[in-house]
Chain A
Amino acid sequence: GAVVSQHPSRVICKSGTSVKIECRSLDFQATTMFWYRQFPKQSLMLMATSNEGSKATYEQGVEKDKFLINHASLTLSTLTVTSAHPEDSSFYICSATDPGTETQYFGPGTRLLVL
């Protein structure tokens, strides 16, 4: 299947700092990428839909000023957690839609721990 990468795989930061997570589609161009959040022993919750060249669409209850999404190219979307707090600690996963198969492939996830 198609490959989606994420960087970094894990990050530890101090409360109040900002953290950027990158999501790349390695072997296809993705006009649409998605960002999910997953707490322990829970399912994935969609945070936002990232569209190349336009503003992201956020799900209800997700603060767009706190979770900044930029989809600058057809292979890269970034999620920036601004002024992170301990409650933002979670597993963040991105996915990208392969236009050839119209299926979503997921990245390996980024584990964020805010101290």
Chain B
Amino acid sequence: QKEVEQDPGPLSVPEGAIVSLNCTYSNSAFQYFMWYRQYSRKGPELLMYTYSSGNKEDGRFTAQVDKSSKYISLFIRDSQPSDSATYLCALSAAAGNKLTFGGGTRVLVKP
């Protein structure tokens, strides 16, 4: 069993819809949670960074963390075709420490 599980998709949604992404993890040592967006042949771009259970909102993005269930989510509101990319969750046990990535979910937003 992988330490971090993430549905590979692809997840296809119409423009304007809400994109819902999630990861589950098994190691309770993970305390820091990140979401990255990666376009094809590019490096990952940090979208959200959280370290406590609850919600964090930044523009069209909302990250949720439920440590008791070992479940994290990312929601993208009013999705745009430019949001089409692979989204990776990443977890670490300490701030600035090495990251353990989920497998990534490929998202396609259709105009």
Contacts and interface: CB of A to CB of B under 8 A. Distances in A.
Contact of B96 (A102, A108, A111): A102
Contacts, number: 52
B96 A103 contact: yes
A91 B41 CA distance: 8
Interface in A57-113: 91, 93, 95, 97, 99, 101-109, 111
- Secondary structure of the B contact surface, majority rule: loop
Contacts of A91: 41
Interface residues of A, number: 25
Chain B interface extent, by class:
20 to 34
Contact of B44 (A32, A46, A93, A99): A93
B96 A105 contact: no
Nearest to A98: B96
